[in-house]
Structure 1
Amino acid sequence: MSGSCYTYSQQLMGTTVSLQLFVENQQAVAAVFNTIQALETRLTVNRDHSEVMSINHAAGKQPVAVSKLVFDLIRQAKAASLLPHSCFNFAIGPIVKLWKIGFNGHSIPPAKEIAHRLTLTNPHLIELDQAKYTVYLAKAGMEIDLGAIAKGYIADITRLVLAQYGIYQAIINCGGNVLTIGCSPLTPNQHWHIGLKRPFAKADSLLGILHVQDKSVVTSGIYERYFMLNEQLYHHIIDPFTGYPLDNELQSVTIISDNSLTGDIYSTILYGFGVRQGLNELEKHKDMGAIFVTKDKKIFIKSNQHFQFELLADDYELCQSFIPEQTQ
């Protein structure tokens, strides 16, 4: 347990991005935040101009050439979108813009408009040319949205930037995506302690603490962005098959994995699956663990030895005896 801790933060990607280092290195800090800013500029759909928006503006017209970096991320996003029964869909842009959840002017869209826009969200209609790094949206009105994957990708790139400066102990927090790099100099067993937020509570109210080493921790939860209408909660995790917010037994899913991009993808996919099917799916992914938190305040854990979880909230129940049934 040695060394000083240096924390730096900036407002980027619509959230507070914070970096914790254990050596003072202003060059590394500047490189990290400059890299994040440059990547955000390429990937955002919240501004008129970016590489992603150039693809969206050309929907139904012509393919658009992008940088290798953006092409590679889009290729991975398409692959995740085409997994069987995947609730991850990077072509969901038209539906996200319709609901405006987390932005001003949110409301429940007309069913007819949702049905129309669903016809513009088929990931199969996005054509990629690996030789030319071009992306083509085959129907006018289609829009890709990398919001569900960009933070994880950027966190992973940050690890590479820090390695260029010889830094192998750090935490990067991209507002819900936490990447721990190396082992912690702050605790006797060298585990990082990462707080898991209590749903629908104050920002500093914790459900529990994860003990991890050199892992990414990513949470998808219905309490992150939502609005209430007639005592009904409408959250930002949209079901790509219905066009409405996903409605199941879950409040949140947290994925613990080696990299943050994987966490981003599977926190959405497993949230869509629900507890039983999600636990079954994890049997195929020994490199990942997960924490499922249900609306009736039960917590189901599949650690695969990647982390320990310490429960703090006494009104939640840790259900470690859950036996997932075989899926049909």
Structure 2
Amino acid sequence: MVKANYEYSQNLLGTIVSLTIYEANETAVKAVFATLKILEDKLTVNRPLSEVMSINMAAGKHAVEVSRPVFDLIAQALQISLQPNCYFNCAIGALVKLWQIGFKGQQVPTDEQIKQHLLLTNPRDIELNTDNHSIFLKRKGMQIDLGAIAKGYIADVIKEVLVKHNIHQAMINLGGNVLTIGDSPLSDDKNWHVGLKKPFSRNQELVGIINVNNRSVVTSGIYERFFYQHNHLYHHILNPFTGYPLDNELESVTIISKSSLEGDIYSTILYGLGVSKGCEFLQRHSNLAAIFLLKNKTIVLANTDNFYFQLLDKQYQVKQY
């Protein structure tokens, strides 16, 4: 007998946050959305008041003490950002604000503006003090931006909240960051069925279905936030080395991983690497799986032995790396 399906949603984190659980537990649901609001207030850079914005506003002036969760998340983001030739950079905030892609005032900056703002994106200019959990941005105008990982981090925290309230079958969807908990009661194979969106589809069409169990599914795509100028598409996934949107053969990268934070981090990194180098990277990281959607309607699956992908759109050709 299939358990009842309880759906809850709110507009938070700049998107629709939805929660599907299979046991009636209003206490757990209230705890989830209260936690979401607290974390949004700490991590957002789209409002003047947050812990992250307090750090940014003090750039070049003084260090700012923050709560332990915010400090630990920034420390983890910084550790990744400092890896050689890494396409993930938590210090990219000044460039993000310059482009404003997906927000009012989006524009194509001049080469000189981009050159100047690139000087403000060196992660080595972020100074952490573990004694008092303070963070200092050495250059005036620097900005930390956790937009690439905030939803993944929050999804993982929400999972902890649900498990604490004895919810062991659930699906969390933070605007495309999907995290599944336990087995699905909806299917015979006990897998959750997560849709893979068709890029630039106006009707929420799906390319396929990803069948996973107790995993995170995170997609980074050029169709999420973009604009056109002079018939050229400019999207929000910026190249931290050039300051311009990344330009390669990909429309999206989907990461299947244990944690949603991993999915956020590595979807950005692998998008920057592209298919060939991305697949080589995955050979050294067997804990991650990926689905690459190419502009030429090819889908490349890598490390996908532990889940099943069902193709729905026959325009695409599937290849196994």
TM-score w.r.t. length of structure 1: 0.96
Say if 2:245 is the partner of 1:245: yes
CA root-mean-square deviation:
0.8
CA contact (8 A) 1:288 1:306 kept: no
Counterparts of 2:85 and 2:310, CA distance in 1? 32
State whether residues 169 and 182 of structure 2, in contact with CA within 8 Å, keep that contact through their aligned partners in structure 1: yes
- 1:114-144, CA deviations, whole angstroms, 9 ceiling, x for partnerless residues? 1000000000110111121110100111000
Q: Does 1:128 align with 2:128?
A: yes
SS in 1 for 2:195: strand
User: How far off is 1:231 after superposition?
Assistant: 1.3
Separation in 2, partners of 1:155, 1:33: 11
Residues 300-319 of structure 1 mapped to structure 2, 5 A cutoff: 300-319=300-319
1:170 & 1:3 partners in 2: Cα distance?
Answer: 11
In structure 2, give the amino acid aligned to 1:216.
S
Which portions of structure 1, spanning 4 or more consecutive aligned residues, are displaced by more than 3 angstroms? Answer: none
Q: State the partner residue of 2:182.
A: 182
SS at match of 1:319: strand
CA contact (8 A) 1:256 1:306 kept: no
What is the one-letter code of the residue matched to 2:309?
F
Residue type matched to 2:4 in 1?
S
Equivalence for 2:212: 212
1:305 to partner: Cα distance: 2.5
1:84 deviates by: 2.1
- In the other structure, the counterpart of 1:45 is 45
**Which shows bigger deviation, 277-286 or 195-204?**
195-204
1:208–1:310 Cα contact (<8 Å) kept: yes
Q: 3-state DSSP class of the match of 1:262? A: helix
Report the Cα offset of residue 154 of structure 1: 0.2
2:157 corresponds to which residue? 157
Q: Report the residue type matching 2:25 in the other structure.
A: N
Asked whether 1:57 is paired with 2:37, we answer no
**Residue 285 of structure 2: aligned partner:** 285
Instruction: Report the Cα offset of residue 270 of structure 1.
Output: 0.2
Partner of 2:200: 200
Question: How far 1:107 moved relative to its partner?
Answer: 1.3
Q: 1:261 is paired with a residue of what secondary structure?
A: helix
Question: 1:85 deviation in Å?
Answer: 1.4
Moved more, 41-50 or 81-90: 81-90
What is the deviation of 1:203?
4.5
Contact 1:299 1:318 in 2 (8 A): yes
1-structure distance, mates of 2:167, 2:84: 39
Write the deviation string for residues 195-254 of structure 1: whole angstroms up to 9, x where unpaired: 000001024300000000000000000000000111110000000000000000000000
Task: Flag structure 2 segments of 5+ consecutive residues without an equivalent.
Answer: none
Quick one: which amino acid aligns to residue 67 of structure 2?
S
Classify the secondary structure of the residue corresponding to 2:154.
helix
2:112 aligns to what?
112
Aligned length: 321
Match of 2:87 in 1: 87
How far apart are residue 182 of structure 1 and its match? 0.6
SS of residue paired to 2:106 = coil
Q: Which amino acid aligns with 2:270?
A: L
Q: CA deviation at 1:82?
A: 1.2
What is residue 326 of structure 1 aligned with on the other side?
Answer: none
Tell me, in whole angstroms, the C-alpha distance in 1 between the residues paired with 2:164 and 2:152.
Answer: 19
Task: Give the equivalent residue in structure 2 for 1:8.
Answer: 8
Distance in 1 (alpha carbons) for counterparts of 2:277 and 2:203: 30
How far the C-alpha of 1:285 sits from its partner, in A, is 1.0
In the TM superposition, residue 89 of structure 1 has moved relative to its aligned partner by 0.6
Q: Secondary structure at the match of 1:204?
A: coil
CA distance in 2, matches of 1:287, 1:164: 25
Distance 1:203 1:36, change over 3 A: farther
Find the counterpart in structure 1 of residue 36 from structure 2: 36
Contact conserved, 2:59 with 2:139, CA < 8 A, in 1?
Answer: yes
Deviation of the 1:303 alpha carbon: 3.0
CA contact (8 A) 2:282 2:303 kept: no
2:144 corresponding residue in structure 1: 144
The answer (yes or no) to whether the contact 1:287–1:304 under 8 Å persists in 2 is no
Residue aligning to 2:295: 295
How far is the alpha carbon of 1:304 from its aligned partner? 4.3
